[in-house]
Structure 1
Amino acid sequence: MKKIRIALVDDHKLFREGLKSILEQNEDFEILFDAENGRLFLEHPNISKVDVVLLDIQMPEMDGIEATKKLRETNQDIKIIILSMHDEDQFILHLMEIGANGYLLKDTDTDEVVSAIRKVSDSGIYFSDYVSRAMLRKMNKNTAAGSKVFNYKTDLSTRELEVLKHICEGLTTTEIGDVMCISPRTVEGHRLRIMEKLGVNNTAKLVAFAIKNNLVD
């Protein structure tokens, strides 16, 4: 069984140790290392081995926002789950736009944390209920204001728009294939073409772009 290799980044040692203890109870998880701020995480010699990082927002020296930006300058493969006390819509959507793959409040139930890690590892993105609601409110606001700047829909085929809709619903590649009666490989082909057309380089940015520009109904 291939394990999901995880890094924990938070400036509170007790929080890191508690989360590490919980996650290590899962046989498919391996905690590679932990760090107390973004700078130490980015400088860690084992960073290239990380599959998923749980990244706190508020930390000294380098916070989670800056660490996300810097990581995405050089690495698109590591999945980033943001840990925060903030649930404001614009804050959540901004983190997605700069490359976060998931967003969890710090008082989230441990079962959801475990589920989020597995989901981002598998599909590249995780939507909690409040993230989904934030995106829905953004979509409704865009629709009411007519704020779409470019008609990107004209560049996407009907099939691609359907794939994009399912991606924004948080479905995995396999789940999308089952719904659309196509192979996972075909789904991935559609995903790559959509990303190329829209000029984004990962699934999280794709979803944020789609929501911001009202591409899905």
Structure 2
Amino acid sequence: MRKIRLALCDDHTLFRVGMATLLGQIQDFELVLEAANGQELIDRAARKMPDVVLLDLQMPVMDGTATADYFRETYPLVKIIILTMHDEDRMVLHLLEKGVSGYLLKDADADEVEKAIRKVMDDGVYLNDFVSRAMLRRMTSKSNSPTKPTSAFYNSKILLSDREKEVLSLLCDGLSTNEISEKVFLSPRTVEGHRLRILEKTGTKNTAGMVAYAFRNNLV
């Protein structure tokens, strides 16, 4: 059984120790490295490349945002899950658009952390209720603006087909490729093709970024 290789990056030692203990209790998880800041993580990652990084935002030397940028550019296959106390809607969407795969608050329970790790490994993205509410709040805020367009899809700088709109909407609901395939009666390969075209049209790096883009630009 191949284990999921994890990295944990947080400058609070007590938090790291507690999280490492929790992760160590899961049979198919392997914590391959811990770091107190982004630079330390980068320096060590090449020797022990993780599948998933659990990343704090506010750290000395190199913060989480800069670290996420580096990983998205240098190691795009590594999944990034933000694990932080920062709960601002703007920050959530900003980081998702940058290409992180999930956003958790530090008061999340151990079961949700495990679920998020497995979800990003299987589907590339984990959108929990907190993230969904943040997206909806941003969308509602834009909707109340006097400059709201009459038709988001029509006025958007990108043009999506009806099928692409449908697939995007279901991705925003948190459905996986296989779940969408069953719902709209298309093969998983066809659904994946639509997803890739939406990524290209929106200029986003992964599904999480695409979903954040969709909410920010009133595409759903």
Q: Does 154-163 or 127-136 show the bigger shift?
A: 154-163
Question: What is residue 161 of structure 1 aligned with on the other side?
Answer: 165
SS in 2 for 1:155: coil
Deviations 1:167-201 (A, max 9, x none): 11111111111212222222111111111122222
Q: 1:180 to 1:150 in 2, by over 3 A?
A: closer
Question: What is residue 104 of structure 1 aligned with on the other side?
Answer: 104
Question: What is residue 26 of structure 2 aligned with on the other side?
Answer: 26
Deviations 1:12-31 (A, max 9, x none): 22221221121122222121
SS in 1 for 2:137: helix
Q: 1:141 to 1:95 in 2, by over 3 A?
A: same
Aligned residues: 216
TM-score between both structures, scaled by the size of structure 1: 0.92
Unaligned runs of 5+ in 2: none
Q: 1:39 to 1:172 in 2, by over 3 A?
A: same
SS in 2 for 1:19: helix
The aligned amino acid for 1:10 is: D
1:82 Cα deviation after fit? 0.6
Residues 1:176 and 2:180 are matched in the alignment: yes
Question: What is residue 139 of structure 1 aligned with on the other side?
Answer: 139
- 8 Å Cα contact 2:99/2:204 also seen in 1: no
CA distance in 2, matches of 1:46, 1:160: 37
Unaligned runs of 5+ in 1: none
1:153 Cα deviation after fit? 8.0
TM-score between both structures, scaled by the size of structure 2: 0.91
CA distance in 2, matches of 1:47, 1:208: 32
CA distance in 1, matches of 2:7, 2:154: 39
1:2 Cα deviation after fit? 3.0
Question: What is residue 124 of structure 1 aligned with on the other side?
Answer: 124
Deviations 1:130-181 (A, max 9, x none): 1110101111222232166983486211111111111111111111112122
The aligned amino acid for 1:176 is: I
Residues 1:191 and 2:176 are matched in the alignment: no
CA distance in 2, matches of 1:166, 1:76: 24
1:83 Cα deviation after fit? 1.1
1:47 Cα deviation after fit? 6.2
Give RMSD over aligned pairs. Answer: 2.0
Deviations 1:63-89 (A, max 9, x none): 111111222222321111111112111
Q: 1:163 to 1:72 in 2, by over 3 A?
A: same
